[in-house]
Amino acid sequence: MKKWYRTIRTALHALRRNVMRSILTTLGIIIGVAAVIAMMEIGRGSSDAIQNTITSMGANNLLIMPGTAASGGVSFGAGSAMTMTPEDCDAILRDCPLVRAGAPVVRARTQVVYAGRNWVPMYIYGTTPQFLDVRDWTALAEGEPFTERDVRNGSKVCLLGQTLVRELFQNESPIGKEIRVKNVAFRVVGTLARKGANMMGMDQDDILLAPWTTIKYRVSGSSASTANQSASSASGSGVNSLNALYPSASVSLYPAPSDTQAADTPLPVRFANVDQIMVAAQSSEASAGAVKQITGLLRERHRIRADEPEDFTVRDMTEMTKALSSTTLLMTNLLLCVAMISLVVGGVGIMNIMLVSVTERTREIGLRMAVGARGRDILRQFLVEAVLLCLAGGAFGIGLGRLTSYLVHSLLHWPTALSLTAIVAAVAVSASVGIVFGFYPAWKASRLDPIEALRYE
Amino acid sequence: MNLIELKDIFKTYHMGEVDVPVLKGISLTVEAGELVALMGASGSGKTTLMNILGCLDHSTSGLYRLDGEDISGLTPDGRALIRNQKIGFVFQSFNLLPRTSALDNVIMPLTYTAADISDREARQRATELLQRVGLGDRLHHDPAQLSGGQQQRVAIARSMINRPKLLFADEPTGNLDTHTSKEVLEMFQKLNRDEGITIILVTHDTGVARHAKRVVRISDGLIEAGAVLPAAGENDGPKGGAP
């Protein structure tokens, strides 16, 4: 112990004897480590920003669809089973810790009318306010989202996507206006921010969002067909004059109950099914775990035995997740390359100066050997000198790197993120650079012959 | 008792394919407490002999006993230990560490000492030694701030820090003027007399050799004169006939 203490003191002393050279030598490592830290922090910031962007495209989204229903050998295709309920969504939010947000979705496809213009939006989604959170869409262009209370009440309120706003309102503000969806009047409470096309090229702004209760019970009526319901029967409210000519399929077989009868025998609350549940996992890495949790939970809730197939499917955005992880990997590797190069350059600088130092101090080495230093004592001393230089360089480098990234953050407003791994790695790497690049000169010094070293001019 | 005992020491250097014999069978004894001058012209082998005596080098063949211990077959590390414990060196060119205070220069060899000496003890020992060589008021001076004679005295203090039994001085006055040379040589005599340290002065200068009790002359790899201690009564003057 004492030996190490003495060695370190001797090394410090030797470094102090040539302060300027020590500083210049360390400069290589300082700049190297500072570059590593700054690059890692700026890179982490950029990488985080890129990840956020990709995540907002829905990389961490999961789509839970009901399975297929079949009757007499005729399959009705995916999503036709009527077993998915809004309660499933509540249960997922409650019992799956890897799920950040989730919303049930009821789809409809029908005509939307305002004043003299009409449009059939690509998506009419009945959902809950959490849908915006799931899709990273919480920033509205105008107005406010509808509330949970609107969902409970089945309020006739809606949010419009930018395409719909353009088609129906042109330059007007739609807030507070009433639009008609299949003859149901909806008040526009807000407009969504522009999101653009998704990865398949579908316009995501061609959307109308309303409480799922309203869409389910007032607009769509039946489960979810993606058929254009405006073309088939309009409801029996009689505003459409063609109703009389082409009566809808609903034929009343029984006499309508009177008000008293209706009050006396309330219909049981109808089992409400939804077309899909959209869920956001905590992160894109967590989505695989979230799929597992959701599958387990829903199998239990739907009372599916172990040997039976599921009556639902959970889909994740594998393509996007892949893009995300490959982007992150690329960034990390790129930064690692830059870091390695700058540290190797710094290390070569250290080796160079240590070699010069060994040559210059040959007589000193000879003297130390003459008074009893063994080869390994000399080796240790020079190694400790190199490592001390590198560690000091590492310490200053961390400070400088943090300062640089802070300046970049505050002056250029680039995103940066503190990277503890970078700091730990920088210290470890600078110490090992010291050992690796200090070893050759130290070894050379330890192999000197004391007689020749003492005579060295 | 014989501190140094050499028997048939040969040393041959290999220069490519040619063998160059430098020492051709040296036998020599030095008793503890002697002050011996080792003289010879350059190329005579005196430096090689000193390197072997000082455990810096090993002989090709022959027996070397130092302090009763056979050290002719030691490894380099073993020789380093012997140098550290039993031998002190004073060089012609002082070899002080630059930009290092006299005190730290004197303490330096203790870094490689196995014995457990506390820092305070080390400083105290070094201070005493510097006072003894007359530099008590220059403990914190750098070598650059000291004169040649003072530097050599620091070097002498340094060679004494491990309390060696044997002190080698290789042309200790070669870089000094006559006056300071005399001072330094008197310092050696004093150390020899008061402390009983065995001192071997390596020199080609008869004026320096005159300060020794015995002169060993070496020429062409063989000892010409002074291989054994002269009989009592004769040791008050240099032996070997200085001109």
Residue B126 counted as domain residue: yes
Residue B122 counted as domain residue: yes
Question: Bigger pLDDT: A235 or B7?
Answer: B7
| DSSP code at position A242 | G
Residue B158 has pLDDT above 90, yes or no: yes
pLDDT tens digits for range B66-116: 988 888 888 888 899 899 889 999 998 888 988 889 999 999 998 888 667
Give chain B's domain count.
1
Q: Which residues pair with A316 in a beta bridge?
A: A62
Residue A242 has pLDDT above 70, yes or no: no
Q: Is the ipTM of this complex over 0.85?
A: yes
Facing residue for A17 by CB, picked from B56, B57, B98 = B98
Residue B27 counted as domain residue: no
CATH of the domain at B141: 3.40.50.300
- How are beta strands A99-108 and B35-39 bridged, if at all? unpaired
CB under 8 A, 24+ apart: contacts of A121-124: A121/A161, A121/A163, A121/A164, A121/A206, A121/A207, A121/A208, A122/A202, A122/A203, A122/A206, A122/A207, A123/A161, A123/A206, A123/A207, A123/A208, A124/A181, A124/A207, A124/A208, A124/A210, A124/A215, A124/A219
- pLDDT for the residue B239: 44
Share above pLDDT 70 across residues of chain A, in percent, rounded to a whole number:
91
Contact A164, A110 (CB under 8 A): no
pLDDT tens digits for range B116-153: 788 888 899 999 999 999 899 999 999 999 999 999 99
- pLDDT for the residue B114: 64
Residue of A6, A7, A367 to mutate for B, most B C-beta atoms under 10 A: A367
- pLDDT for the residue A250: 58
The H-assigned helical ranges of A55-129 are: 86-95
Computed on alpha carbons and rounded to an integer, the radius of gyration of chain B in Å comes to 18
Is A152 in the B-facing interface, judged by CB distances under 8 Å?
no
The position carrying tokens 């220059």 is: B138
Interface of B with A (CB under 8 A): 51, 54, 56-57, 76-77, 80-81, 83-85, 88-89, 91, 95, 97-100, 104, 108-109, 111-113, 116, 158-159, 162
Question: Bigger pLDDT: A224 or B12?
Answer: B12
**Mean pLDDT in residue range A37-41:** 82
Residue B200 has pLDDT above 90, yes or no: yes
Residue B234 counted as domain residue: no
**Which chain A residue has the Cα nearest residue B55?**
A370
- pLDDT for the residue A230: 43
**Mean pLDDT in residue range B169-184:** 90
- pLDDT for the residue B233: 46
Share above pLDDT 90 across residues of chain B, in percent, rounded to a whole number:
34
CA distance B86 to chain A (A): 10
Residue B69 counted as domain residue: no
Residue A10 to residue B158, Cβ atoms within 8 A: no
DSSP string, A26-73: HHHHHHHHHHHHHHHHHHHHHHHHHHHHHIIIIITEEEEEE---EETT
What's the token pair of residue A422? 């970078």
Residue B98 counted as domain residue: yes
The position carrying tokens 């070397």 is: B64
Facing residue for B76 by CB, picked from A2, A7, A375 = A375
Q: What is the pTM of this model?
A: 0.67
Q: Which of A453-457, B48-52, B239-243 has the lowest mean pLDDT?
A: B239-243
Query: Where does the pLDDT of residue A218 fall: very low under 50, low under 70, confident under 90, or very high at 90 and above?
Result: confident
Residue B103 counted as domain residue: yes
Residue B213 counted as domain residue: yes
- pLDDT for the residue A234: 40
pLDDT tens digits for range A300-339: 988 888 888 888 888 887 777 777 778 777 877 887 787 7
pLDDT tens digits for range B201-229: 998 888 888 888 899 999 888 888 877 76
Residue B164's domain comprises 33-55+80-227
